[in-house]
Chains A and B, each alone.
Chain A
Amino acid sequence: MHNSPQNINTTALNADSRDSKRGAASASGQSRVVLKNICRSFGDEWEREDVIKDLNLEIEPGRLTAIVGPSGCGKSTLVNLIAGFDRPDSGQILLNGSPVTGPGRDRMVVFQESALIPWQTAYQNVVFGPKLRGDLRGKALQDRANRLLERVGLSEFKHKYPLQLSGGMQRRAELARALINDPLLLIMDEPFRGLDAMSRELMQEFFLRLFEENRRTNLFVTSEIEEAIFLADRLVILSNKPAGVREIIDITLPRPRDLHMMSSPEAFAIKGRAMAILYEEAMRGFQDTATDRSAFLEAYAGRRG
């Protein structure tokens, strides 16, 4: 089961100590994250289950790395480890050469669904971080927050509470809230999940423009393969539980991107390749029970026909 060609495409692991430290790099939001032999398991003793095993990955500065994998394969666990909400059982996570020991403003997460604080208006949510730390205040903070809110198209809605905003607006407010902290790495954990198809497409295009403007290092976790291809520079496919890096595909579609590129032969080729790997990984999840497997095969065949 573990002889699948995991890790073979992983970029050479160098901590790159010459890389500038956090402070210097923060201006451009460029940073390198290196994950070395990450293992994480959950549960008590005999029931203990490996969720992530020997995961090696390098998130390259200034690029958008998309992570896809079968559902429940451990993507969110990976996000929690990189964000510092959780610690690996073994292995090391390095951000520009320094080990990650807990949550920090240098790695902001945009959560699944929306995690805006309900009792704060859009504006209050955006200024929340700088106000807590006290590193930006008064007029400078107001200007910066207003600029960001304008950038995400929420100027007129900044005094509304999250519940008064549409799903798309909530995601944009959350982006502004993350960006005001000027993180080295922006982590997006299935950020557009739960949006209707139309809003989702609009958000993807909006986010694409935002990324292409300043190329802040981004880790984008999604379960939608097309979304990943549309946005990413590199597509990382995780293996089924326990998660490891199964395959890395470089996406060479030119930037700035637009939706028409998704119907190019190149995009189709990438999608075909990625789907084949994902299918293989999904099947591994069914290996234990023959009936499940045949049921899945039947459903899959039905879907294609």
Chain B
Amino acid sequence: MQRLLDNKALWRGIAAIIIFVLIWEVGARSKDLFGWTMPFLGKLPAPSAVIAAWSHVIFEPGYWMSWIQSFKRVMAGFIVAMILGIPFGLTLAVNKYFRAVFFAPFEILRPIPPLAWVPASLIFWPTNEMSIAFVTFLGAFFTIVINVLGGARTIDVRHLRAAQSMGANQWHLFSRIILPGTLPSIVTGAAVGMGITWEVVLAAEMISGGGTRSGGGLGFFIWNSYIGGSLDQVVVGMISIGIAGYLSSSAIRRLGDYLMPWRRFF
């Protein structure tokens, strides 16, 4: 606890947020305070109004259901992308025949933005929920694969040679050298992929309109608030997403630190 209180970076962060919120508050109330509307900030709901709306919303189960819905979708797409993407990327890096067959189609599909897949996947998949999961998966998959591939191909050949001299077989080379050597890139890919997944989920939720059976999610929460004309709630939804994204990516960072003790000294 004492260490937390002594943490200067933490206090600077908190101070920065307070200052930022104060400027926002003053900007949003500029019409009442100075008689003229500050551009941009003047059109936003004030933080006090947002907090008021928030304190109202947190007692509604629908708000928390939206959190859970979006988290579920993000995790489903993300985890499937990890499960398929890591082996796919590693195989691309290690096996030249596999690379010859799959790399070109992969590179053609990769630049297609995940959102461009939405109409096609709505037609293709039987339920809305599956289409959203699929689009989310695509968002993370390509990023993870390209990171894993890049990471695996920069492995120091001397490590492979040293291991070979000491009697390593193919499995040893893979499990002791290639996999741990690629781990930093896997974590980077996961962190970036996680960010993209959040973007995609929310956009997909807005486009698909949530649907009655599939439930809203935070994206639909924002859209619904916008349709209902509640700008305060739109901002509540936006900040909720910011917090959710931050929680997800810091979880990945911590996991990365835990898995890679040798990198804590960089």
Contacts and interface: CB of A to CB of B under 8 A. Distances in A.
- Point out which of B165, B168, B265 has the most chain A C-beta atoms below 10 A from its C-beta: B165
A132 B260 contact: no
Contacts of A276: none
Interface stretch (B43-51, B61-69, B154-162): B154-162
Nearest to A180: B166
Interface stretch (A12-20, A23-31, A110-118): A110-118
A5 B176 CA distance: 47
B81 to A, nearest CB: 25
B265 A107 contact: no
Classify the secondary structure of B's interface with A: helix
A83 interface: yes
Contact of B165 (A109, A162, A163): A109
Given A111-B158, A132-B168, A132-B172, A118 B262 contact: yes
A104 B165 contact: yes
Interface string B164-178: 111110001000110
Nearest to B158: A115
A161 B176 CA distance: 16
Nearest to B181: A119
- Point out which of A85, A103, A133 has the most chain B C-beta atoms below 10 A from its C-beta: A103
Nearest to A161: B262
A117 B164 CA distance: 13
A111 B162 contact: yes
A20 B140 CA distance: 59
Contact of B265 (A85, A102, A103, A164): A164
A215 interface: no
B261 interface: yes
A161 B261 contact: yes
B192 interface: no
Contacts of A103: 161, 164-165
B34 interface: no
B265 A181 contact: no
B80 to A, nearest CB: 27
B150 interface: no
Given A161-B261, A161-B262, A117 B165 contact: no
B261 to A, nearest CB: 7
A132 B166 contact: yes
A85 B163 CA distance: 11
B40 interface: no
Nearest to B157: A85
Given A111-B158, A164-B265, A119 B165 contact: no
A108 interface: yes
Contacts of A181: 165-166
Given A104-B167, A163-B265, 5 more contacts: A115-B159, A117-B159, A161-B265, A162-B262, A163-B262
20 contacts: A85-B164, A104-B167, A105-B165, A108-B165, A109-B161, A109-B162, A111-B158, A117-B163, A117-B176, A118-B262, A119-B180, A119-B183, A119-B260, A128-B166, A129-B167, A132-B166, A132-B167, A132-B168, A133-B166, A161-B262
Interface of A: 83-85, 102-105, 107-109, 111, 115, 117-120, 128-129, 132-133, 161-164, 177, 181
